[in-house]
Amino acid sequence: MPRETREGERRSCDHSGDDEALRRKERRSHEIDESLRCATHAFASRWLPSLTPNLNPGDDAGRFERFIRESWRATRKDMLRVVNRVSYRSALALYLFSQTPVPSGISEEEELDGINGVVCVQAALLQIQQLRSRLRSCQYYGSDVSAWSIGLTTASALPTTDFRPAFLDLEGRAYWAAVTWDTASSVTLEFNSTLTTGLKGACAEPAWVLARGFLTKSFHARTEAWRHASFELTDEIASQIISAAGVCRTYLWRTIASVKEALREGVDEDRVLFAWDSFRDGIEVFKMTIEPLMSRCEKQLNFLNQTNRLNWYLMVLHHHLGTLILTHALETANRSDLLTSIHETRLEAEHATLNVLDFGLKSTYVVGDPESHRSTQSMTGQHTTPLPSSSAQPRNGLSFIGIDPCPDYVLASVQLIYMAIHRKYQQRTITREVHTNLSSIILRALDQLPQSSKSVFTVRQNLQQLVQDADTDAALNTIPPGDAS
């Protein structure tokens, strides 16, 4: 065979192989997109009953419940494939499913027979680690804290490879999102950190050094004028303040996770105190830079748009939830010495949590109308699950608690704050009337959460029983001894 012919056939085979590889890559990308879409549907489905006006409490409610369960089942099954498709979209799909509650109507046997949210969030963090390994050849430069911007706290890199600045920027933002997930899991669950070093992570690692430097230096200096009473607060400025509060919340939660880890692992006292000092430093950073600005926002909440008001509510609730979780951990570890030193911070968190829950109940968020006569596909296969068509008339709006994107944080807040209320009631530092009033705020908050969630149903039932028992005990204690029979 002539040499030219052999060369032509080789080039033809190489070209055919490239085409096949491209088709496989496109097919894989499409599968990842479908998995992300499936996870998004399952995550958002819990709000469908609230967002649909004129809901028939009979047939329509039942169809929504079935759709929510089908979406959860299909997504959980798909997560077994997503675990093996490493990409940022896969990591997001895994995280979304980890934040999707088990629907009511799922039996305990079915819940245990498959992958769960805890495994999914850990798998998402592992995928982020694998994807970040591509940047190992890049050199870090991060000494210029003033160049750091909100939302990008990863180590910036000078591309010694073929990475473009836009790619590095997106990868940095994805990494910070993953650090936020990791930190939240470490605080709300009994897990050590995956992406940071744990006990010293809030002090030594680049992400946390940059976060603290941003808050105490560049952002603090840039916002000096905003602290003056005569300064006019606009929505754009309020948005920047609340975004910085989100950075501070994550930084402070990292220190709380470090304290919890030190207490849980039984390390020596010096390391416990090192983590504790980091937490106290985080509180000082918040009080110096963020608290005055958030207070300015609070005074002008009625003049801010609904998105800023909602985000302000979220940041305040999450900030104080961290303190409530920490104080519970200190009580569990019998560290009354540390607990006493933050007595005022604890009281502030308890009072502020009740106030912000009440604010979340009274404030509404108007959601744009979905298209009329639209049906939503269930990701269970090729068939579709039609949903009741929605009216074209706009809704009056949902409460902030009703549309809260992190209902699990509300659940944690109400459980911890009721423990505080019950403690005060037993100690007779609050009256029965106050106990009843505060308990009603908590129960109304639970009523606003998506009722399709199994955990919401369970917590609501338990707290209702606790409140009822407390009221019964109080009524019995008011009966004169001679009338007890």
Share of the chain above pLDDT 70, in %: 79
Whether residues 65 and 202 share a domain: the answer is no
* Tally of domains within the chain: 3
57 located within any domain: yes
Q: How far apart are CA 94 and CA 100, in angstroms?
A: 10
pLDDT at 159 over 60: no
24 located within any domain: yes
376 located within any domain: no
Instruction: Write down the pLDDT at residue 392.
Output: 36
**Residue 328 lies in domain:** 145-363
Whether residues 167 and 127 share a domain: the answer is no
Q: How far apart are CA 201 and CA 139, in angstroms?
A: 21
373 located within any domain: no
Instruction: Write down the pLDDT at residue 44.
Output: 95
Q: How far apart are CA 263 and CA 291, in angstroms?
A: 28
Arithmetic mean of pLDDT, 139-166 = 45
Cα angle 260-263-265, degrees, rounded to a multiple of 5: 100
Whether residues 229 and 275 share a domain: the answer is yes
For the entire predicted model, the pTM comes to 0.83
Instruction: Write down the pLDDT at residue 431.
Output: 93
377 located within any domain: no
Minimal CA–CA distance to 451: which of 110, 65, 66?
A: 65
- pLDDT tens-digit readout, 403-412: 999 999 999 9
- pLDDT tens-digit readout, 412-443: 999 999 999 999 999 999 999 999 999 999 99
Whether residues 160 and 119 share a domain: the answer is no
Could you tell me whether strands 157-158 and 364-365 are parallel, antiparallel, or unpaired per DSSP bridges?
Answer: unpaired
Whether residues 167 and 303 share a domain: the answer is yes
Could you tell me whether strands 398-399 and 364-365 are parallel, antiparallel, or unpaired per DSSP bridges?
Answer: antiparallel
Give the 3-state secondary structure of residue 153. coil
Instruction: Write down the pLDDT at residue 200.
Output: 67
pLDDT at 453 over 90: yes
Phi-psi sector, 149: left (phi>0), alpha (psi -120 to 50), beta: beta
Q: How far apart are CA 117 and CA 47, in angstroms?
A: 19
User: Which string of DSSP letters, residue by residue, matches 369-400?
Assistant: PPPTT-----TTSS-----PPPPSSPP--EET
CB of 86 closer than 8 Å to CB of 127 = yes
Residue that finishes a domain, picked among 363, 392, 414: 363
Give the 3-state secondary structure of residue 139. strand
Phi first, then psi, for residue 11 (nearest 5°) are -65, -35
464 located within any domain: yes
Arithmetic mean of pLDDT, 365-382 = 50
- pLDDT tens-digit readout, 164-207: 788 888 888 899 999 999 999 999 988 888 888 777 656 678 88
163 located within any domain: yes
CB of 425 closer than 8 Å to CB of 378 = no
Instruction: Write down the pLDDT at residue 134.
Output: 66
Instruction: Write down the pLDDT at residue 119.
Output: 94
